[in-house]
Structure 1
């Protein structure tokens, strides 16, 4: 018999399990599972529970996230226990349940696979970057590749190590050391030394679906070095000449001032460099780039994937019409199309209080529009000029690039009378 309810009135208790299953959890977790009237989890997790856990067993449907509200509502008033892998709040089901159950949620975590991996490898967690490929494209890993960095890659399945190996080779990190850690904390735990040089190694012997890939990054000496701040080498991009060049790009990103979680509109995407480097500043930064040329739009997608931000949304269309259905931005960059009727006004109107707008141009016609906007709204109007040293006969001289006029402004509403008219 399941005993009567005791203690705080939690609607849902989430219990973290390791690869060792029932023997590896705490007494509090065992009590919660014994007393639960409903047990929800993956089939593998449910199979780890002994018969003494008498609650009704329900396997998660697929897709999982949309099913959460309905399942909780269907069993309202009953003691619900949800099974999770490791720490439920670390890339786990805990987030979705917290959004639904709020303070009626109790979480009993287990050490995460990342904690186990760091312990086995002797890697201080504060010096390790964790990248999850669960439900996400392997291209996300590209942004984390830097010489000497240690990465722990959360695998989606048994095929992830081979994907990681292929990506490392393709991105110029073939010399990296790679290890596969399987069934961490369980009786079948195993660590396998792998190599990026041979597709067959990460899959022989067969890899368990519960695995983490540890990478010690080593860049091939002949491959392009990419830094962690805006202003990547122009050679990092596939382009047809429509590219915000490196030094102007760095100044533009500084003016846009990306912060975690913010959304950028990049209008006139060209090669996508501004949106891509905006997103590279933090994993939670988001961007939408609008490009009317479908060939360039496809090129932007390829650049984004190669440079580690496959989540960049590319909209093929002409602004301002293409802006109508976009989510509100935190910042807007206009790199092309300034003379399109209504574009500048539409971008200005879309900005929230504190939102930033940066526009670059090299033409007199667009420069006049920026000067007028500067008079109306304030901000900073600057001219950026870059010259490169080039051979002049047997000597060296300067070759001046076209100067770029840049207007940067932050919109502040209802603070200065008449300032936003």
Structure 2
């Protein structure tokens, strides 16, 4: 707070139409500012000003330190459109607190694009590929879906077009919305497969109407993707058991999973696909499987998956605490102890066993800690000569348990 008890930091959303579209409140904040931070494009709109002006530098954390040096004085940050929609606003609020910040948003690029296209914004997935792998879009690419995507520059639309085409969505309609809200505004339409624009303005939003071709394989976000959706060497949790495990792990927004002994990464990937603001760490000792996990994560739209090559329990040290843990890669050598000790109170743990030795461990853990223990046998119809018969898969023991609030595990407690 400033000396008069008011917020000292004002974030002003500004569009391509510049100062003319700002509110009186935003103009007053600029007129009274002692320091103004922003990109070169935004600062150039101001003209002369008595305030000291600071252009964003890299790494961005240095800018936060520079802003903090002006704490309790009048500071303005210029941001694009709505600062709270994939903008700098959330970063500044997290750093300085809501009491210190006033946010004066402008029209977002999503609002402008939806208005030009006549799309109901409530029915559109608003996404960003700015500073993020474009493959993350694939979670939202489904037949009939409409997307609005912020990009990271003039090559962003081409990258989106290539991704869609490579995944069988080359017939999708793209509208490249450039310099929205300014005198340079331009909208151009093409299909993903026919994309050939070379002069795209760096400030652009790509509108996508997804249309699946014959080669497309739509992947819903509910747990239980087909096994052939993953590259694997046989070490993976199969479809039925995977759906059961994700259900038991109960992903909730903002929560983190450890996938211990990740194999192909199928559990961690399905966890990430299950909702918003989820994170996951796949822990796997074999480098060739880590490579498979990375490939699966890109293919299935979860490039944010963190992959840690290492052996549990040693690899678990110093990792951020999880809200859920899946143990699919062995229960010996103190793995359960390390996982249970790290699991947040109220967190969920699920484990699978296929050998008699690991089954015995789960039976003992169930007796000590409770939870739900079940044996799953799956039989699948398969050809037998000219006929068909059910072919049984290996029986799997599934155990899941919730860590009680306030519970702790003493060193040495539980099976080794």
TM range (shorter): over 0.9
Which residue number in structure 2 is paired with residue 47 of structure 1?
44
Segments of structure 2 that go 5 or more residues without pairing to the other structure are none
Matched, 1:31 2:23: no
Matched, 1:169 2:198: no
Question: Which of 77, 94, 100 in structure 1 is aligned with 2:95?
Answer: 100
Contact 1:11–1:101 under 8 Å retained in 2: no
Give the whole-Å Cα distance in 2 for the aligned partners of 1:43 and 1:225: 42
Post-superposition CA distance 1:143-199 (Å, at most 9, x none): 111111100111111110011011111222111111100111111111011222245
Give the whole-Å Cα distance in 2 for the aligned partners of 1:167 and 1:202: 16
Matched, 1:315 2:305: no
Contact 1:194–1:202 under 8 Å retained in 2: no
Give the whole-Å Cα distance in 2 for the aligned partners of 1:395 and 1:330: 47
Give the whole-Å Cα distance in 1 for the aligned partners of 2:406 and 2:254: 25
Give the whole-Å Cα distance in 2 for the aligned partners of 1:149 and 1:207: 24
Within a 5 Å distance, the mapping from 1:277-288 to structure 2 comes to 277-288=270-281
Secondary structure of 1:156's counterpart equals coil
Aligned Cα root-mean-square deviation (Å): 1.9
Q: How far has the Cα of 1:414 moved from its partner?
A: 4.7
Q: How far has the Cα of 1:56 moved from its partner?
A: 1.6
Give the whole-Å Cα distance in 2 for the aligned partners of 1:330 and 1:375: 23
Q: Cα gap change, 1:414/1:91 in structure 2, threshold over 3 Å: closer, same or farther?
A: closer
Post-superposition CA distance 1:361-403 (Å, at most 9, x none): 1111100000000000000000111111112233221111111
Which residue number in structure 2 is paired with residue 334 of structure 1?
327
Which residue number in structure 1 is paired with residue 386 of structure 2?
394
Which residue number in structure 1 is paired with residue 242 of structure 2?
249
Contact 1:226–1:233 under 8 Å retained in 2: no
Matched, 1:240 2:233: yes
Which residue number in structure 1 is paired with residue 402 of structure 2?
410
Which residue number in structure 2 is paired with residue 356 of structure 1?
348
Within a 5 Å distance, the mapping from 1:98-247 to structure 2 comes to 98-102=93-97, 103-198=99-194, 201-203=196-198, 206-247=199-240
Give the whole-Å Cα distance in 2 for the aligned partners of 1:356 and 1:28: 48
TM-score scaled by length of structure 1: 0.93
Give the whole-Å Cα distance in 2 for the aligned partners of 1:343 and 1:79: 53
> Number of matched residues?
409
The more displaced of 343-352 and 70-79 is 70-79
Contact 1:266–1:333 under 8 Å retained in 2: yes
Q: How far has the Cα of 1:77 moved from its partner?
A: 4.0
Give the whole-Å Cα distance in 2 for the aligned partners of 1:172 and 1:268: 32
Which residue number in structure 2 is paired with residue 375 of structure 1?
367
Give the whole-Å Cα distance in 2 for the aligned partners of 1:54 and 1:115: 33
Give the whole-Å Cα distance in 2 for the aligned partners of 1:293 and 1:100: 39
Q: How far has the Cα of 1:6 moved from its partner?
A: 11
